[in-house]
Structure 1
Amino acid sequence: MKTHVKALIIGGGAVGASVAYHLAKAGWDTMLVERDELTSGSTWHAAGLLPLFNMNFATTHIHKYSVDFYKGLEAETGLNAGFAVVGNLRMAQTAARMDEYMLYSSIAETAGVHHEFLSPKEISDRWPLVRTDDLKGALFHPQDGYINPADVTQAMAKGARQHGAVIERKWQADAYEWTGNEWRVTLTRMVERGGNLVPSDEQIVVTAEHVVTCTGNHAQRTARLLGIKIPAIPVEHQYIVTEPDPALVEYRRQGGAEHPVLRDADAKWYAREERGGWILGPYEQGAPARFLYDVPESFRADLFQLDLERIEEEYMSMIHRIPTSETVGLKDDFNGPICYTPDGNPLVGPAPGLRNMWLAEGFSFGITAAGGTGYYLAQMMVEGEAEIDMAALDPKRYGPWTTTEYAARKNEECYSHVFILHHPDEEREACRPLRTSPAYDRQAARGAQFGQVNGWERPNYFGPLDAPEGFDHDARSFRRGGWWQYAEAEAKAIRETAGLIDATAFTKHWVSGPGATAFLDQFTCNKLPKVGRINLTYALTEAGTTRTEYTIVRPAENEYYLVSAGAWSAYDADFLRKSAEDFMTAGGGYVAIHDVTTQWGVFALAGPKARDILREMVRDADPATVLSNKRFPWLSARKIELGMVPTMAIRVAYTGELGWELHHPMEMQNHLFDRLMAAGEGHGMKLVGARAQNWLRQEKSYRAFGNELGRDATPLEAGLDRFVDLSKEFHGKAAMVETGIRSKCVTLLIDGPADADPWGREALLHDGRKVGRLTSGGYSVAFGKQIGMGYVSAELAEAGQELEVRMFRQTYRAVVTEDSPYDPTNARIRIDG
């Protein structure tokens, strides 16, 4: 057995085998160790479905790669993976479900995933056993289907060996130690004893430059050994296999084609043929999380007791949809653990706080995702970044606040939502409220309807306290929901009078010390601000793409206050700290970094009346001039007193109006909120939520991290040249310059449908050909039409260029505008008074 490798993979399911294959193919000396037998975790009892359908851009690419990759495995390895390319039929009982499929269609188009729409008649003509009289239609993927999970895992394992990887079974990872340049992993030989698999006295230490954990159901044990949080906890998933259905057998005998994988999403189940009968897999309410802390040693390739009562509704629904199944008996059943995460996406990427430790955990659709995960994770490890932005799957999208209880309850919710309509304005309720700013109750009392960002409750909009008859705050839609009218009024208030936004969820770091200036200068791509001023800047990846966006405030010579996106606190903190460690290790001066996110609240006050409101509150020897352009210019920061609250005021506004961000001690937030509300009452100030703010920032072409800004585009491609100082050296500069301009970020005004706005997932076309995609979308109160931002090829990025955007299977006119179509000279932001 090897005792030193470049990459050590822990876990021999489908995901681990794929990672081993792709790393070995890339030329890395790779070894995989499995505590039992390959596929003995969740892989062996998986149904083996390969659905291309996914509403996440990165995961769509992962699934597509897997489906294409699996089709070529037999030619490479000689092993048949049992891929039945029968297609996948997603049926819709409601118009809302068809809206979901049409939104997905645009996502699929951007990723090159082939799909078709079928009418109820087309379904019954092809597959007469399926009842269609109550269907609206269906989405059909003819290129996917199902595969044998054990066979595809063994094929990938053989391919890994052919590329030089070593695979060792019956070895368990029991300890991890980072020495500063490699990992020492203690492995224990596992032996059979009384039907159980138990540790023996035999141990070996393997050193590895990189470690990848693909431990599936054992993720909580892995987290404990590494001293980190991994919110991947299994949930029970059961499916049943019926006896042969005589009608199905006869249909096939007469030459009928095998049914595609059938998904009645509104009934919450999938079904496929199995030896003349049917497999039914429901996603029911009430499935419990299991193995919150450990998998018992006695649990190997085992299952739980079936709970038929829990899936009775879904079973009866299958009989409704496939009437011939009513008299067919049950032949077999499976109820096993399948790992989930709170948002349903796997955890793929660097582990928080650790060097060269990579996670590939939390796969609820592990067979579908395995191939693509291995491919893109290997790119990240070997090349520094993947060709697509993998931030949506990064393990650090969850912070250390995610407890075991939180993960278990959210994972149960996620399981039950597999077939729930995936509205873009969806807000799931489990484990809420959890993280709240002090003013939460005050805002709720004024009609706040909250969304959740990184666990924080953040107002999406403010609705009526006495809602009109029939109005439902919880109603969701793929078109303009009931909230739309309130977001429109809030956006108009900021343009016409003033609005107050709770931005407390912003991530905030204090960076100081003798090395702080030199560190931040090479860490970010823009000039550092002078003392008392602020700058917008970016930290880059090794590939020269955008890793993080920062607003940097410089209160003193070697003191900096960094503000970044609230959804990415742990993600930003990890990168910032590791980069500072590298800087100091290389001989740079000392840098102190403190996460002060929970110490500082933030209110953003913006609008033509913002200065008038603050003047009523500010305490200064000359309150008439303290907020003037001369004493408090745009893009500067000052310490001011608002009533009894010492405030760091930053003259900047994400909405494009005159405004200030008011950073204040968290414990004083309620006092400040009350004073702001009292001062704003006479000036028409409204409370404003995140949805209106999102519309307004697009009118100013302000890029958002996770939308326009990410690890697949450079700041130059994002059109942020003015924030890049090419006269200095900074991390990622050479790679950014070498990459050049592959596409450009643009803002578009759209003549769309009367009842819907783009969500930022739609395809952009030119002469009927796909040329890009939207990354943001919404409505513009300034122009009275839809607005969006996205990426197109450079030759189509000029103002005035006419394109089309695909919405609900129709194309609508979209015109590229100049950057910042609303107030392009920033006159309103800099207005004096």
Structure 2
Amino acid sequence: MKTQVKALVVGGGAVGTSIAYHLARAGWDDVMLLERDELTSGSTWHAAGLLPLFNMSYATTHIHDYSVRFYKTLEAETGLNAGFAVVGNLRMAQTQERMDEYMLYASTAETVGIPYEWLTPEEIKARWPLIETADLKGALYHNTDGYINPADVTQAMAKGARQRGVAIERKWQADGFHWTGQAWEVTCTKMVERGGNLVPSDEQIVITAEHVVTASGNHAQRTARMLGIKIPAIPVEHQFIVMDQDPALLAYRRDGGAEHPVIRDADAQSYVREERGGWILGVYEKGAPARFEYGVPESFRADLFPLDLERIEAQYMAMIHRIPSCEESGLKDDFNGPICYTPDGNPLVGPAPGLRNMWLAEGFSFGITAAGGTGYYLAQMMVNGEAEIDMASLDPKRYGDWMTTEYAARKNEECYDHVYILHHPDEERPACRPLRTAPAYDRQKAAGAQFGQVNGWERPNYYGPPDAPGSFDHDARSFRRGGWWEYAKAEAEAIRNGVGLIDATAFTKHLVRGPGATAFLDRFTCNALPKVGRINLTYALTGHGTTRTEYTIVRLGENEYYLVSAGAWTAYDADFLRKSVEDFMGAGGGYVDVHDVTTQWGVFAIAGPKSRDVLREIVKDAAPETVLGNKRFPWLSMRNIELGMCPVRAIRVAYTGELGWELHHPIEMQNYLWDQLVAAGAGHGMKLVGARAQNWLRQEKSYRAFGTELGRDATPLEAGLDRFVDLSKDFHGKEAMTALGIRSRCVTLLIDGPGDADPWGREALYGGETKVGRLTSGGYSVAFGRSIGMGYVRPDLAVTGRKLQVKMLNRLWQAEVVEDSPYDPGNAAIRMDG
């Protein structure tokens, strides 16, 4: 057995096996996989093996699509049949709103190139007469996917991995990880059978690996403790039953009927597929408990939990309604096993927080579907430094240290019972909330704030009626213009015409200082650093020249900087910043101190033509009438001011494109400052404003947002941010960025869409019959009275006046590429003096 390898993969389920295979295929010839028991002995063996292509996440859709295509090639390569039944996937809808959901899914699928077709109830009945269709609105059908045998596909990938030189060692358990500074020393223990249990023996070895990947499935909490990190991957019980043969189904097949597709009755929280003349029913019911919150018992191997039929009675009756012929079929077998989840349902794929060369592939609720693509894209990240798609939405660091075991368990239970609920793009889930609240939360709630959650923080999305019942926000959701739309529109209009107040406390904030700070940041970011008292917008790049992080940099002193970045990415940004500083100092750079001050500073943004008038009511200065004017406080500058008794680090920027300031203040003084601002604003008609209106307004200014327009699949130049890139200096990723050239361009579009809907930023863009790009953001423009969107298209189409189409609600709607910053392109509003 080897004791030194290039890469060690821990976990022999479908995901781990795929990673080992793809690392070898990508050129690493010294890869080992460890499995504590037998291959597939975790959740893989009892998975239903479905291969759904649909997912709201752009990255996950790519992953699923690759898996489906890859699995079809395995038999030719390995000689092993992976058991792929390409029967298709039929997603049925009982309501128009479910059809609206599928229309958004379908447009997202088009951005990845996934084929589909629409079926009416009559067409469904004609193809598969055993299905009851009288109560259906229609269905979305994917004919390229289906189901697969989980054990067979895992063994096929394992054989392919062995053929490429991967060593696969069973009955070895990873019991400790130690980073030497150059490699990982992994203590491994031989596992032996004893009394039907698998227990550690006295035999141990240490394997030295340059890279380690953990794909430990249900054992993720044990992995987290050994690594000293948090991994919010905790299993939840998942039940499915196998029924005896259905005579009507047997007769249908004898008469030449094609095998049924995987039948997804989302409104009944279930899926059904054929199984040897009978049916399998799987459910996503309420009340399924999380298991193994603190680790899997040593006695638990390829085991199952007792079936809880009462919990799935409603879904069982719904199946009898949907396929009446199954009513007389008895119960043949049942499965109730642990399936890992994460709080948002997406897996954790990428570098582990705080660790070097440690990679996570954990939390797969659809592990068979995702295994192939995860191996492919994670191997790209490890071998090449980046994947060809932006994997940030799956990054393990999207959850910070505030996350606890209790939080993960309860959110994972919620995620499980939300699998088949309507996934509105404006969806906000209630479990474990409120948790992280800024001091002004209660005041905002009393004013009608309807909150969203960002990195655990409660943040107002919009302000509804103050006396609204608790279900108001839920009832206001829609795939079209929901009940919240009129409130967001009024808020956006208030900022354009008067003044609005936004809570931006969730912003990520870092203090970077020390004798090496200036040299570090100059190399770390692509724009020129600001002078003392000034600010600059800049980007940190990946080694491939794409956008890793967006920063607003405020220079507080010669070697002291205040960095502001997106609120959803605090741990993601902090990890990258700290590792980059370590590399800088390790290469001989001067000392740099990095301190996360996110929770120490609250932020209010005040914006609109009357914002200066409001602040003058409470600013304390020897000359209050001039302290906020352009001469003393110009655009893109920072001043320490006093608002009443609150010291404020005021930054003259406005994400809305109007005159405005960000008011960074000591968090403990937030309620005092809020009351001062609200009282001063009352005389000027100031409106409280949420994140949705702000999102619309920033698109009118073509302000790119990290996680949508900005990410690791596009360079700042492709994003159209040339003015923030100083090519006269050296910076990390510069050569790679220029070598990539311009593969696509970010554009802003005004859209003549349906009268009751706006784009969400997930839609395909067309030029005639040809797909030419995709939207990354969408919404409504109060300045132009039309829908608005931002996205990427072929460079030759990024021309002002170019006519394109947006796929919305299963139709193509006219769109026009407009100039960057279509609202106030000269920035007269932002620079307004007074």
Fold in common (TM above 0.5): yes
Show the counterpart of 1:379: 380
Show the counterpart of 1:556: 557
Contact 1:435 1:456 (8 Å CA) reproduced:
yes
Contact 1:508 1:561 (8 Å CA) reproduced:
yes
Question: In 2, Cα distance between the equivalents of 1:465 and 1:644?
Answer: 29
Show the counterpart of 2:2: 2
What SS does the aligned partner of 2:328 have? coil
What SS does the aligned partner of 1:828 have? coil
Show the counterpart of 1:316: 317
1:589 counterpart letter in structure 2 = G
- 2:26 is the alignment partner of 1:26: yes
1:4-47 Cα distance to aligned partner (Å, 9 max, x none): 11100000000000000000111211000000000000000000
Question: In 1, Cα distance between the equivalents of 2:373 and 2:469?
Answer: 48
Show the counterpart of 1:488: 489
Show the counterpart of 2:352: 351
1:444 counterpart letter in structure 2 = K
2:22 counterpart letter in structure 1 = H
Show the counterpart of 1:605: 606
Contact 2:642 2:648 (8 Å CA) reproduced:
yes
Contact 1:473 1:482 (8 Å CA) reproduced:
no
What SS does the aligned partner of 1:53 have? coil
Question: In 1, Cα distance between the equivalents of 2:474 and 2:463?
Answer: 10
Question: In 2, Cα distance between the equivalents of 1:593 and 1:55?
Answer: 35
Show the counterpart of 1:435: 436
- 2:100 is the alignment partner of 1:70: no
Q: CA deviation at 1:468?
A: 10
Show the counterpart of 1:330: 331
Question: In 2, Cα distance between the equivalents of 1:510 and 1:234?
Answer: 38
Question: In 2, Cα distance between the equivalents of 1:295 and 1:460?
Answer: 39
1:369-408 aligned at under 5 Å gives the runs 369-408=370-409
Show the counterpart of 2:752: 751
What SS does the aligned partner of 1:673 have? helix
Show the counterpart of 2:128: 127
Show the counterpart of 1:14: 14
Q: CA deviation at 1:469?
A: 14
What SS does the aligned partner of 2:419 have? coil
What SS does the aligned partner of 1:295 have? coil
What SS does the aligned partner of 1:713 have? coil
1:388-427 Cα distance to aligned partner (Å, 9 max, x none): 0000000000001110000000000000000001110000
1:101 counterpart letter in structure 2 = Y
Question: In 1, Cα distance between the equivalents of 2:553 and 2:295?
Answer: 43
CA separation of 1:472 and 1:509: change in aligned 2, threshold 3 A: closer
Contact 1:531 1:556 (8 Å CA) reproduced:
yes
Question: In 2, Cα distance between the equivalents of 1:470 and 1:435?
Answer: 21
Q: CA deviation at 1:689?
A: 0.1
Q: CA deviation at 1:55?
A: 1.1
1:652-702 Cα distance to aligned partner (Å, 9 max, x none): 000000000000000000000000000000011000000000000000000
In structure 2, runs of 5+ residues without a counterpart are none
Larger mean Cα displacement after TM superposition, 693-702 or 469-478? 469-478
1:83-482 aligned at under 5 Å gives the runs 83-467=84-468, 474-482=475-483
Question: In 2, Cα distance between the equivalents of 1:275 and 1:781?
Answer: 58
Question: In 1, Cα distance between the equivalents of 2:468 and 2:243?
Answer: 49
Question: In 2, Cα distance between the equivalents of 1:296 and 1:806?
Answer: 50
Contact 2:477 2:484 (8 Å CA) reproduced:
no
Q: CA deviation at 1:466?
A: 3.3
Contact 2:448 2:468 (8 Å CA) reproduced:
no
1:749-801 Cα distance to aligned partner (Å, 9 max, x none): 00000000000000000012100000000000000000000000111001000
What SS does the aligned partner of 1:326 have? helix
1:686-765 aligned at under 5 Å gives the runs 686-765=687-766
1:27 counterpart letter in structure 2 = G
What SS does the aligned partner of 2:618 have? coil
Show the counterpart of 1:800: 801
Question: In 2, Cα distance between the equivalents of 1:229 and 1:628?
Answer: 48
Question: In 2, Cα distance between the equivalents of 1:466 and 1:574?
Answer: 42
Q: CA deviation at 1:53?
A: 1.1
Question: In 1, Cα distance between the equivalents of 2:812 and 2:427?
Answer: 25
What SS does the aligned partner of 1:284 have? coil
What SS does the aligned partner of 1:222 have? helix
1:789-827 Cα distance to aligned partner (Å, 9 max, x none): 000011100100000001011111100000000000000
1:20 counterpart letter in structure 2 = A
Contact 1:449 1:473 (8 Å CA) reproduced:
no
The count of residues paired between Structure 1 and Structure 2 equals 833
Q: CA deviation at 1:474?
A: 3.6
In structure 1, runs of 5+ residues without a counterpart are none
Any runs of at least 4 consecutive aligned residues in structure 1 with deviations exceeding 4 A, and if so which?
Answer: 467-473
1:716-762 Cα distance to aligned partner (Å, 9 max, x none): 00000000000111111111000000000000000000000000000
Question: In 2, Cα distance between the equivalents of 1:202 and 1:469?
Answer: 59
- 2:776 is the alignment partner of 1:775: yes
2:765 counterpart letter in structure 1 = L
Show the counterpart of 1:627: 628
Question: In 2, Cα distance between the equivalents of 1:300 and 1:20?
Answer: 23
1:596-630 Cα distance to aligned partner (Å, 9 max, x none): 00000000000000001111111111111100100
Question: In 1, Cα distance between the equivalents of 2:295 and 2:378?
Answer: 26
- 2:827 is the alignment partner of 1:826: yes
Question: In 1, Cα distance between the equivalents of 2:158 and 2:222?
Answer: 24
1:346-374 Cα distance to aligned partner (Å, 9 max, x none): 00000000000000000000000000000
Contact 2:635 2:831 (8 Å CA) reproduced:
yes
Question: In 2, Cα distance between the equivalents of 1:520 and 1:162?
Answer: 46
Larger mean Cα displacement after TM superposition, 458-467 or 584-593? 458-467
Show the counterpart of 1:642: 643
Question: In 2, Cα distance between the equivalents of 1:283 and 1:628?
Answer: 59
Question: In 1, Cα distance between the equivalents of 2:791 and 2:486?
Answer: 25
2:206 counterpart letter in structure 1 = V
Question: In 1, Cα distance between the equivalents of 2:769 and 2:485?
Answer: 31
What SS does the aligned partner of 1:528 have? coil
**Aligned-pair identity (%):** 81
What SS does the aligned partner of 2:486 have? helix
1:56-101 Cα distance to aligned partner (Å, 9 max, x none): 1000000000000000000000000000000010000000000000
Show the counterpart of 1:617: 618
1:539-550 aligned at under 5 Å gives the runs 539-550=540-551
Question: In 2, Cα distance between the equivalents of 1:607 and 1:565?
Answer: 22
Question: In 1, Cα distance between the equivalents of 2:498 and 2:255?
Answer: 72
2:312 counterpart letter in structure 1 = I
Question: In 2, Cα distance between the equivalents of 1:491 and 1:366?
Answer: 42
Question: In 2, Cα distance between the equivalents of 1:170 and 1:467?
Answer: 58
Question: In 2, Cα distance between the equivalents of 1:353 and 1:235?
Answer: 28
1:143-187 Cα distance to aligned partner (Å, 9 max, x none): 100000000000000000111110000000000000001000000
Show the counterpart of 2:679: 678
